[in-house]
């Protein structure tokens, strides 16, 4: 599929879907926004500044209204959307959401109304040294991630991405239906076989899991605790952070109000607060260790998939330049 044909596909989708994807803002950051004009869509191998999380799990979402002792039925009616430009790491994070929110009607209905279009770059080299998350395309990777349509980008003789011969894959009946309706038949179908490859979970992830469980190297967490300012930016951009809190918001009439679900993060002091103003995570050192333990121990053990997709967003946004991959290397050496 050529670039021109792909943009025609986006125009075709806009007839019945709101289309979202990576666009550049005035500060030259790549953000996920609604695509008004197809020429604004940017697929060049870079990750978006924030992940796609907000489209599946809104930062604040009303769950229901209450009036005295009566609850107003929640509205599960969501608009049809197409999300374009999810990278392999973002698609892996979506697999985690599917498991964590498997019984959540809000998430499930929103996901059901969403067409997911991912992409990857088939190249033997990274297009920029700083783009550590540009992953070389592998034939067997697509059968371990969920998507409706996947675009494999190739470069032309000038090494310009998206100007070469690009391949299209479908991973669902809905994806096939869309391409057939568009009148494009030259695609390959991928059968999803589950998130775990034949060789098992990522060996590095399992090694970190073992280290985190068996030892607490105080020096590592003391050092990082002294630097971290608890701004929470790492959790905001992380595609696998899904923690939330529940807020009850009464109206002026105390018998009425609503219940809201909002993002929360273990980097915030109130996150671990229980009755009596007691905080289970008492300092920055403990909060940072808790965050890593959740990613590399609790998530892999409960859901059998990594709690980190190696996108590197956390390190990119940290205002005090904490290199989280370096922290993991220190954990492995401890």
Question: pLDDT (tens digit, 9 = 90+) per residue, 74-119?
Answer: 777 788 999 999 998 999 999 999 999 999 999 999 999 999 999 9
Number of residues written out for the chain: 334
pLDDT of 318 > 50? The answer is: yes
Q: Residue 200's closest CA among 82, 304, 110?
A: 304
Residues linked to residue 71 through DSSP beta bridges, in sequence order: 66
Same domain, 65 and 167: yes
Which of 39-48, 270-279, 317-326 tops mean pLDDT? Answer: 317-326
In a domain, 195, yes or no: no
- Domain of 169 in residue numbering reads as 3-189
Same domain, 242 and 177: no
> 163 falls in which pLDDT band (50, 70, 90)?
low
Same domain, 184 and 133: yes
In a domain, 196, yes or no: no
Q: Residue 41's closest CA among 88, 79, 16, 9?
A: 9
Joined together, the tokens standing for residue 301 give 């053990």
In a domain, 308, yes or no: yes
Question: What does pLDDT average to over the chain?
Answer: 86
- The percentage of the chain sitting over the pLDDT mark of 90, rounded to a whole number, equals 53
pLDDT of 280 > 90? The answer is: no
Q: What is the pLDDT of residue 37?
A: 92
Joined together, the tokens standing for residue 111 give 């996901």
Joined together, the tokens standing for residue 213 give 């469980």
In a domain, 197, yes or no: no
Q: What is the pLDDT of residue 12?
A: 96
pLDDT of 207 > 60? The answer is: yes
Distance CA 312, CA 230 (A): 18
Same domain, 46 and 113: yes
Q: Report how far apart the first and last C-alpha atoms of the chain are (Å, whole number).
A: 49
Same domain, 264 and 165: no
> 316 falls in which pLDDT band (50, 70, 90)?
very high
For residues 247-270, average pLDDT: 89
Between 217 and 142, the more confident residue is: 142
Q: Residue 152's closest CA among 273, 45, 11, 274?
A: 45
Q: What is the pLDDT of residue 44?
A: 82
Q: What is the pLDDT of residue 260?
A: 93
Same domain, 250 and 173: no
- The answer to whether 224 and 287 have CB atoms below 8 angstroms apart is no
> 213 falls in which pLDDT band (50, 70, 90)?
confident
Residue 241 half-sphere exposure toward CB, CA atoms < 13 A: 25
Helix (H) or strand (E) holding 32: strand 30-34
Same domain, 64 and 140: yes
Residues linked to residue 167 through DSSP beta bridges, in sequence order: 152
Same domain, 152 and 29: yes
> 127 falls in which pLDDT band (50, 70, 90)?
very low
Q: Is 4 helix (H, G, I), strand (E, B) or coil?
A: helix
Joined together, the tokens standing for residue 21 give 């994807």
Query: Dihedral sign, CA of 271, 309, 202, 330?
Result: negative
> 148 falls in which pLDDT band (50, 70, 90)?
very high
Q: What is the pLDDT of residue 130?
A: 37
Query: What's the domain count of the chain?
Result: 2
């Amino acid at each position: 599929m050529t670039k021109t044909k792909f943009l025609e596909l986006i125009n075709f989708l806009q007839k019945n879907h709101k289309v979202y994807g990576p666009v550049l803002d005035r500060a030259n950051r790549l953000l996920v926004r609604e695509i008004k004009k197809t020429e604004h869509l940017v697929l060049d191998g870079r990750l978006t500044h924030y992940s796609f999380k907000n489209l599946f799990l809104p930062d604040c979402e009303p769950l229901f209204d209450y009036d005295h002792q009566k609850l107003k039925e929640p509205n599960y009616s969501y608009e049809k959307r197409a999300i374009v430009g999810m990278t392999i790491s973002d698609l892996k994070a979506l697999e985690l959401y599917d498991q964590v929110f498997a019984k959540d009607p809000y998430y499930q209905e929103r996901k059901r109304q969403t067409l997911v279009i991912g992409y990857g770059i088939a190249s033997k080299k990274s297009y920029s040294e700083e783009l550590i998350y540009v992953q070389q395309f592998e034939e067997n990777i697509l059968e371990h991630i969920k998507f409706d349509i996947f675009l494999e980008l190739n470069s032309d003789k000038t090494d310009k991405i998206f100007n070469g011969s690009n391949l299209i894959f479908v991973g669902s009946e809905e994806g096939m239906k869309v391409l057939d309706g568009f009148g494009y038949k030259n695609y390959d179908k991928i059968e999803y076989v589950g998130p775990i490859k034949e060789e098992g979970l990522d060996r590095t992830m399992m090694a970190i899991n073992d280290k985190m469980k068996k030892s607490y190297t105080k020096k590592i967490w003391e050092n990082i605790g002294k630097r971290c300012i608890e701004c929470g930016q790492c959790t905001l951009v992380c595609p696998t952070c899904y923690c939330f809190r529940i807020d009850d918001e009464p109206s002026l009439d105390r018998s009425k109000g609503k219940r809201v679900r909002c993002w929360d993060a273990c980097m915030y002091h109130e996150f671990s607060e229980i009755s009596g103003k007691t905080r289970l995570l008492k300092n920055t050192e403990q909060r940072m260790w808790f965050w890593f333990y959740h990613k590399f121990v609790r998530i892999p053990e409960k859901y059998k998939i990594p709690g980190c997709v190696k996108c590197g967003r956390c390190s990119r946004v940290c205002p005090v330049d904490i290199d989280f991959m370096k922290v993991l290397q220190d954990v492995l050496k401890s």
